[in-house]
Amino acid sequence: MSRWLTWRHPWSRVGDLLCVLVLGACVLAAVWPGVFTSLHPLGVHPAQAFLPPQWGHLFGTDESGRDVFTRVIYGTRTSLRIGAVATAIGMSLAVVLGFVSAFAGKVSDFLASRLVEVLFAFPGLVLALLFVALAGPGVWPATIAVGLATAPGYARIIRGQALIAARSGYARQSVLLGQRPAARLWHHLLPNTLWPVLSLVTLGIGQAIVWAAALSYLGVGAVPPAPEWGAMLNAGRTYMDTAWWMTFFPGAAVVVVAAAATALGRSLQQRSRK
Amino acid sequence: MQFSHRTFLTRALPGAAAALAAALLLSGCSGSTGTSSNSSPVRGGTLVYATGDAEPDCLDPHVGGNYPQALLSSQYLEPLVGRTSSGKIVPRLAKSWKVSSDGKTVDFTLRSGVTFTDGTALTANVVKANIEHLQNPDTKSSTGYLAVTKVSSVEAVSTHHARFHLSSPDSALLESLAQPWNAIESAKALTRSQKENCESPVGTGPFKVTSWKNQQSVTLVRNPNYRPASASYGTGVANLSKIVWRFIPDSSTRYAALKSGEVDVIDNPQPSTVASALKGGSITAVQAPRPGSSNRLELNMSKAPFNDKRVREAFVKAAVVNPGITSLFSGTVKRSYSPLSSVEPLAYSNSSLFKTSLSKARKLLDEAGWKTGSDGIRTKDGQRLTVTLPVSTNQSIPAEQSLFEQIQASVKKVGFEVKIEPLDLSSWYSALAKNAYDAVSAPYTKIGPDVLRILYASDGTVPAPSGYFANHAQIKDASLDSVLQEASTSLNTAQRNAAVKKAQQTVLNAYAILPLYDQQNNFLVGSRVHGFRIDHAVSTPSFAAAWVNR
């Protein structure tokens, strides 16, 4: 009881809970969309086009009479998958680059650091656009593009963490104890480098969802008629003066999910510092 | 890179703010009070035109020859003849013409005293140089080239008398020569490099090109020596001193710019905005049907699956089109059942061929050996029943793209998997050149039924010098070829009309195409603009007599 009363940031706990609930609902929607809706995301009914939000069509219908709520729900799967896979790609690349930088000698550090700096010179979205322009539009190119674009940011942070870990007392101890470098890397350096990065992953997923939506919005991500939030925003924009619900709800979904992932990531980050 | 709330806010907020700003623009602004059109014209002033058509690669419409070039070049080039809304051919640079009794010689008498904006005079030799320019493979012409394939030579009989020698009679020659892609340019200017001529073509029209900022705008200024052929083409030198021709590809941005008064005239508006402008208000909607083909899906007969007529018929029978036409186009277009635009007097329609029947479609596919797979998509010999549909996002408005999605959904019910590929114009052209399509929508604008010869004759599968070929259905039918030949060469009206009808019936009965709706230009005109007209040759806007309030 007293623990609850003396808690410093009661709202942060409520906030975290909300974030977890939102993300949990998203995962549920991504895995079992049928829990939320019985309609089909590609079910075209031209006679029911442009219906405003109402009972039966909570978020209204689009230009082809498809239910916007159903499409937003099914869009969760695409968005979360892009967010998770892109972050995994970015992280994997970053771990390699970061560790090469930190442990493989000065020349490797120089080369890897310059590579990261060159990649940094391009704004992330430009880098992603470049990749999609070369690879062609689609969900997978967009996912890889976002992964590639986020890698340099992670790489720099991982390099910093890895250097801290390498210079730490326990790492030196392990050298003195004659532990082999591979064992040292596996038992000490990797866990101590990656644990603080975990919060970054949560933040990164939010970021990746926004970027993937941006790519689809620009017409280089998900291909029609796939239910994807960015693509839905783009399609709805044409009808913004007559059918606001076509842009409002997919836009709100991006904002809510990205905000939840970002806020949760921040909170995790603060805890890891304590 | 920072992964923080701040990053999220700085990335997401500008987008949200822009969306909000656009929403406010769309909802809150109204145009200034218009003056009545009977007040006297104001001389001077600048008109801003915003086009949604692609930016041309070259401002000389002889090169390539697409509709964006026609829109622009009608402002600074004039053809030999013009065409009225009823289809009558009228004088422009030529004041009269005479076709020989065997139909193989056509004599044009040119107007005297007409000068190009580089100071050179219009003569028969200039006309000769223009036809030779169109026919020269180095020009890489397609539309203009295909329209003059029967012209074997042009002879300059005297200064103002040009004689066209034809390889065979051409019932469509005058209609062809009325097109912007066959307009007459200064022969002196044509001797410059193609790059130079593409940047500043020289004509006799009401305006002339002064500058071109790529991906932004082309600036046109008044031609002080413009002499219209008749009152339909202006009353003299243009009132406007300048036209800024802007490229704004996004339809909502274009409409917002019109509403805010930033631009005066837009083309390719969304159907819903046309519908609301037609109801009244400060913005005027001008609808101008285009001659030539209807908007239709052409089914590629050169390879599987559409090399089998049963599969084509099944696709056509399974495609649900009408409800989409009604809801997506807000009543601004009508369903077409013809290869030709309904403004073509010889257009032949047959709606009975296009009645939806899913059961018939399934039966046809069963007969053709396509078996339904576990995911509902049919397969045959390990191949899925996939239809690749590349869509040019520069040419298809969003409503049309949505219509394709609806067709995609309806044909899926019988086992077709349609892959819609949104592409920019150059990728789209290259997809066609590589035969990497099963269906495509490529409306072709041409005056008169001769468009059928270009679109459906076997030799239409052979690329023009530009690399473009027009027979996207890749229909090759010797009997159709002979009917088209008859339509094109016959000087007997009844015989020509019968051949034109027969050709259309053949194309429709072969299920080579799925007609969707008529090609139509829509313009939204702001209240500041007066005297906006349509040049009825191919329905391009004409500003020869236009003026703007100060």
Provide DSSP, B330-345: TTSS-B--SSB-TTST
Q: Give domain status of residue A16, yes or no.
A: no
Which of the 8 DSSP states describes residue B71?
Answer: H
Token duo for residue B359: 């059961």
CA of A210: which chain B residue's CA is closest?
A: B12
- CATH (one of 3.90.1150.10, 3.10.105.10, 3.20.20.70, 3.30.110.30) for B292-520: 3.10.105.10
In chain A, residues with a C-beta closer than 8 Å to the C-beta of B327 are 46-47, 49-50, 63, 65
Task: Kindly report the nearest CA distance between residue B409 and chain A, in angstroms.
Answer: 6
Predicted structure pTM score: 0.79
Strands B386-392 and B417-423: parallel
Q: Count how many domains chain A has.
A: 1
Q: What average pLDDT does chain A have?
A: 84
Q: Give domain status of residue A12, yes or no.
A: no
Q: Which of A210, A219, A240 sits opposite B12 (nearest CB)?
A: A210
The C-alpha angle with vertex A236 and arms to A230 and A241, in degrees rounded to 5, equals 140
Which of the 8 DSSP states describes residue A188?
Answer: I
Q: Which residue has the tokens 């972050």?
A: A87
Q: What average pLDDT score do residues A187-216 get?
A: 82
**Chain A contact probe: residue of B2, B3, B404, B412 with most A CBs at under 10 A:** B3
Is A124's CB within 8 Å of B323's CB? Answer: no
Cis before B465 (ω within 30): no
pLDDT value at position B71? 96
Task: State the Cα–Cα distance between residues B95 and B511, nearest whole angstrom.
Answer: 43
**Residue B510 half-sphere exposure toward CB, CA atoms < 13 A:** 23
| Interface residue B195 vs chain A (CB under 8 A) | no
| Interface residue B30 vs chain A (CB under 8 A) | no
pLDDT value at position A10? 59
Q: Which of A46, A204, A210 sits opposite B324 (nearest CB)?
A: A46
- Banded pLDDT at A57 (limits 50, 70, 90): very high
Q: Give domain status of residue A21, yes or no.
A: no
Q: What average pLDDT score do residues A228-242 get?
A: 87
Share of chain A above pLDDT 70, in %: 95
Task: State the Cα–Cα distance between residues B118 and B201, nearest whole angstrom.
Answer: 10
More confident residue, B24 or A98: A98
Handedness of CA A57, A59, A60, A64 (dihedral sign): negative
Q: Which of B3, B323, B401 sits opposite A207 (nearest CB)?
A: B3
CATH number where A74 lies:
1.10.3720.10
Q: Which domain holds residue A91?
A: 28-273
In chain B, residues with a C-beta closer than 8 Å to the C-beta of A63 are 327-328, 399, 402
Which residue in A124, A101, A133 sits closest to A114, CA to CA?
A: A101
Task: Kindly report the nearest CA distance between residue A64 and chain B, in angstroms.
Answer: 7
pLDDT value at position B2? 32
Rg for chain A (alpha carbons), in Å? 22
- Residue A154 clears pLDDT 90, i.e. is over it: no
Task: Kindly report the nearest CA distance between residue A175 and chain B, in angstroms.
Answer: 33
Report H helices in A34-138: 68-103, 106-121, 124-135
Instruction: Please say whether the beta carbons of B47 and B242 come within 8 A.
Output: yes
Is A238's CB within 8 Å of B251's CB? Answer: yes
Is B328's CB within 8 Å of A46's CB? Answer: yes
Domain map (residue ranges) of chain B: 18-37+44-264+526-548, 292-520
Tell me which residues of chain B have a pLDDT lower than 70.
1-38
pLDDT value at position A2? 42
- CATH (one of 3.20.20.140, 3.30.70.260, 3.40.190.10, 3.30.390.30) for B18-37+44-264+526-548: 3.40.190.10
- Banded pLDDT at A9 (limits 50, 70, 90): low
Instruction: Please say whether the beta carbons of B201 and B42 come within 8 A.
Output: no
